[in-house]
Amino acid sequence: MADIKFGTDGWRAIIAKEYTFANVKVVSQAVADYVGAGKKVAIGFDTRFLSAEFAQASAEVLKANGLEVIVSDKAVPTPALSFAVRKRNCDLGVMITASHNPAQYNGFKIKTSTGGAAGSEITKAIEKLLAVSAVKTVVARDALKKEDLIGDYIHFIRSYIDLKKIRKKKFKVLVDAMYGSGDSFLAQVLKGTDIRLEFMRNSINPSFGGRQPEPIEENLQELKTRVTKEKFDLGIALDGDADRIAAVAGGGVFIHPQKILGLLALHLHEDRGWSGGIVKTICGSTMIDAIALHLGVKLYETPVGFKYISNLMETEDILCGGEEAGGMGVKGYIPERDGSVAGLLLLEMMAYRDKPIARIIDAMEKQFGRYYYVRQDLKLEHHIEPHRKDLPEALLGKKVVEVKDYDGMKLICEDKSWLMFRASGTEALMRLYSEAKSLKRAKALLQAGTEIIQRMR
């Protein structure tokens, strides 16, 4: 089963190529063999093409293997499925989604009993069970429990967010669901408040309007335009399964997820008075280091993939953790990223400080420095993996003083600017990241990285 392989966050493949009903059933049989008869599994799905049907196929295999199976009655955010796994004492969760990938993809995420992302020890064990047993399946639609997995999720978030602080604020907020499973659930959370909430791209469109549902700046031009023209105080963008966030400040200014992590850390520590460490990934912003130092809290750094942050949230006292792509996890919740909760906490921070988000960001950057963080994806014809010997001793006149190679290759210069190479775990891409104190240098570092990869082709 070489065409079924779990990457950074689940198994993802092109629909009707590797991602077929037959292969979904093979993976589901391996999951059933891993979990064992008599255990309980919850299954959710997103708004992608055939996601509901793939969820049904998976459920029928699990049911045939003697597991108790709960299937969502509608498309749901991944964190809603994760919350249901823990709330209903399930042994495992399955989410049919390809997250931010293009429309031709679908995927299969696995969640642990705590609601966190399954680590590589679980996914590797399941991979070893692929095609070991013959697939068992029954048409068991009448016997399958189809249940509302949203109610408990909404109820918890309403108790988690400080609605009393938000209730009388008249902030104008626009949410871009990017045609994903985030839909308009935030309206239920903010029901009874004076927040003026509007939504865009919250209908079901499996083609995602011709763009992949990834909350990066180039995909959010319409959100930026509407925030500017219609004078919204905050724009929130969710990815395809609503576990990731990007945001837009009044005036249409894009708020990078790296800044969102910094804002969450400051809000939870200074406004809520909570303690705990901060987690960033290897490609996270240097600004997070400065914030952790100022707050006097421990900083953790992990490989790329929220499963590593999730694991720390289960084993250590973590205030918040975030990844470059916009996945944010916070204390007092499941060890899972949630774009909606992160967006609501930004709104809560505005209410606590009684300031527009742009002014809050200005104050943060004045205190901790302004960092320009950029990323570029290079499409590759074949796999390329840079080695230290392929890379220069200096970048644009600044000596490379440190190299981190535990996940990709990150070159850190003497002025603290850096350039990183990392191959995508789900697509034929080389991701290049850079950060510097000036946008000019950050972009020049990306160009230098592009030229290095082009020489290796």
As assigned by CATH, the class of the 153-368 domain is alpha beta
Domain with CATH 3.30.310.50 in the chain: 372-456
Contact by Cβ (8 Å): 449, 400: no
391 phi/psi in degrees, rounded to 5 = -110, 150
User: Could you tell me the maximum CA-CA distance found in the chain, to the nearest angstrom?
Assistant: 68
Task: pLDDT band for 9, please (50, 70, 90 cuts).
Answer: confident
Sheet holding 299-302, edge to edge: 299-302, 277-281, 318-322, 328-330
Highest mean pLDDT out of 141-150, 156-165, 375-384: 156-165
Task: pLDDT band for 288, please (50, 70, 90 cuts).
Answer: very high
3-state secondary structure the chain: CCCCCCECCEEEEEECCCECHHHHHHHHHHHHHHHCCCCEEEEEECCCCCHHHHHHHHHHHHHHCCCEEEEECCCCCHHHHHHHHHHCCCCEEEEECCCCCCCCEEEEEEECCCCCECCHHHHHHHHHCCCCCCCCCCCCCCCCEEECCCHHHHHHHHHHCCHHHHCCCCCEEEEECCCCCCCCCHHHHCCCCCCEEEEECCCCCCCHHHCCCCCCHHHCHHHHHHHHHCCCCEEEEECCCCCEEEEEECCCEEECHHHHHHHHHHHHHHHCCCCCEEEEECCCCHHHHHHHHHHCCCEEEECCCHHHHHHHHHHCCEEEEECCCCEEEECCCCCCCCHHHHHHHHHHHHHHHCCCHHHHHHHHHHHHCCCEEEEEEEECCCCCCCCHHHCCCEECCEEEEEEECCCCEEEEECCCCEEEEEECCCCCEEEEEEEECCHHHHHHHHHHHHHHHHHHC
Predicted confidence (pLDDT) per residue in 22-65, tens digit: 999 999 999 999 999 999 999 999 999 999 999 999 999 999 99
What pLDDT score does 2 carry?
60
Predicted confidence (pLDDT) per residue in 319-350, tens digit: 999 998 899 999 999 999 999 999 999 999 99
CATH of 372-456, one of 1.10.260.40, 3.30.530.20, 1.10.10.10, 3.30.310.50: 3.30.310.50
**What is the fold of 11-149?**
Alpha-D-Glucose-1,6-Bisphosphate; Chain A, domain 3 (3.40.120)
Give the whole-angstrom CA distance, residue 110 versus residue 37.
17
- pLDDT at 385 exceeding the cut of 90: no
402 phi/psi in degrees, rounded to 5 = -150, 140
What pLDDT score does 145 carry?
78
Contact by Cβ (8 Å): 72, 141: no
**Mean pLDDT of all residues in 196-205:** 96
**Mean pLDDT of all residues in 68-95:** 97
Give the whole-angstrom CA distance, residue 45 versus residue 62.
16
Contact by Cβ (8 Å): 355, 407: no
Give the whole-angstrom CA distance, residue 361 versus residue 368.
10
Residue where the block lists tokens 């602080």: 165
* Structure tokens that stand for 163 in this block: 């609605």
User: How many CA atoms within 13 Å lie on the side-chain side of 389?
Assistant: 0
- pLDDT at 165 exceeding the cut of 90: yes
**Mean pLDDT of all residues in 220-230:** 97
Domain with CATH 3.40.120.10 in the chain: 11-149, 153-368
- pLDDT at 276 exceeding the cut of 70: yes
321 phi/psi in degrees, rounded to 5 = -145, 150
What is the pTM (predicted TM-score) of this model?
0.94
Task: pLDDT band for 390, please (50, 70, 90 cuts).
Answer: confident
What pLDDT score does 426 carry?
59
- pLDDT at 195 exceeding the cut of 80: yes
What pLDDT score does 380 carry?
84
What pLDDT score does 283 carry?
94
Residue 316: which of 294, 297, 303 has the closest Cα? 297
What pLDDT score does 208 carry?
95
What pLDDT score does 110 carry?
97
